[in-house]
Amino acid sequence: MKIFWIFRAAMAAELDVVNLFFIAGATLAIPILAFLASFLLWPSVLIKVYYWYWRRTLGLQVHYADCGGYRFCYSYRGKPGMRPSILMLHGFSAHKDMWLTVVKYLPKHLHIVCVDMPGHEGTTRTNTEDYSVQGQVRRIHQFVGSIHLNRKAFHLVGTSMGGNVAGVYAACYPSEICSMTLICPDGIRHPCETKFDNHLQDLEHSNFTLNIPLIPTTPDEMEDMFKLCSHVRFKIPQQILQGLVDVREPHNAFYEEVFMEIIGEKSRYALHEHLHLITSPLQVIWGKQDQVVDVSGATVIAELVPGCRVDLLDNCGHSVVMEKPCRTAKLILEFIILQQTARSGTKKSS
C-alpha cells in the first residue's frame, strides 16, 4: 500500500512538471503567434508598434502643442541645458520618427525636439496655404513660439523638404538660430540633373497623369522609391513593404497636394532665393550618390554662404538619416560643439 502511494505521488509530480512545461510553452507561443499574425496579416500595425517601441527605448516622449485651433505633434527628449536645443524637421511624406536612427547616437542629455511637419502624421491638416515652403515656415515658427523653444537660440536641422524649410526659417528668423545643419536640402538650383529630375520632367510633360515616384501605391513602387532615395540596398520583406504602403495610402491625396505646392513656382527654389539672408553658421551634409537632389547643390550653397561647412558622405544617397545615422549624428554634434566653442572664445576675447 505504501508503495502505491509513493508511485501515485511520483506520477502527480511528473504531471505537474508536464503541465508546467505546457503552460510555459503556451505563454511563449502566444506572443510569437501574435507577432507572426501581425507580420503576415497586419504589417502596418507592426510598423506602428516598432516606432512606439523605439521612442520608448530612446526615452522620447510624444506631446501636442495647441495654437489657436492648430495642433502640432512632436516628440522630445531632455531639457534645455548648456548645449543648444536641437529642432529637427523631416522631409516630404515622412514624420518625426524618421529621426529615431540619428537620435539613437546623440547624447541623452541634449534637448531634442522632432516635430511632425504641417499636415503630416499627428499635426493638423488644413489647406495648401500651409504646405508651401513659406507656409510651413510660418507654422513652424508658430510651433517654436508655442513650446518657448526660442527663449534661447537653438540649432536647426532639416532634411530634403525639411532642409528647404529650415533654410528659409533661418533667413526669416535669424535671431532664433545659433547654428544650422541642412541634409540634402531641396530648394536649390543645382547644375546637374538627377534621376528624380528626369522623373519630374516626365510628370510635367504628362500634365501629372503619371504616378509620382515619391508617392508609392504598391509594394513594388515602394521598393522603387527606396532604390531611388537610397544608395544602400536594404532587403525589405514584401510584408513590410505592403505595411508601409498601407500606412501611407490614406494620406496619398494629401501628399499629392504637398508635392504640387513644393514643386510650385513659390517653393521650388525658395532656399536658393533666401541663401543670401542666412547669417547663422551653416553645415551641409550630403550623400555623394543622391539621385533625388544632386550633390552639386552643396557647392552652390558653399559659394553663396561664406564659411559654410560641407560634409560629403561616400556610398550614400538621399536618405542620409537612414543610411548613415551614426555618422550624421557625429557630424551634427561636432559642428554644434565647434560653434559653441567659437562663440565662447569670442566672448572671452571681447
d(CA 16, CA 29): 20
97, 186, 290, 311: the catalytic one is 290
Active-site annotation holds for 148: no
Pairing of the two strands 86-89 and 154-159 = parallel
93, 132, 160, 230: the catalytic one is 160
Active-site annotation holds for 120: no
d(CA 169, CA 178): 12
Return the amino acid letter for 29.
A
Give DSSP secondary structure letters for 256-289.
HHHHHHHTSTTTTTHHHHHGGG--S-EEEEEETT
Active-site annotation holds for 160: yes
Contacts by 202-211 with C-beta closer than 8 Å and gap 24+? 208/260
Return the amino acid letter for 107.
P
Partners of 181 in the β-ladder? 157, 283
d(CA 298, CA 231): 18
- Which three cell numbers mark 33? 503567434
120, 190, 199, 318: the catalytic one is 318
| Active-site residue list | 160, 290, 318
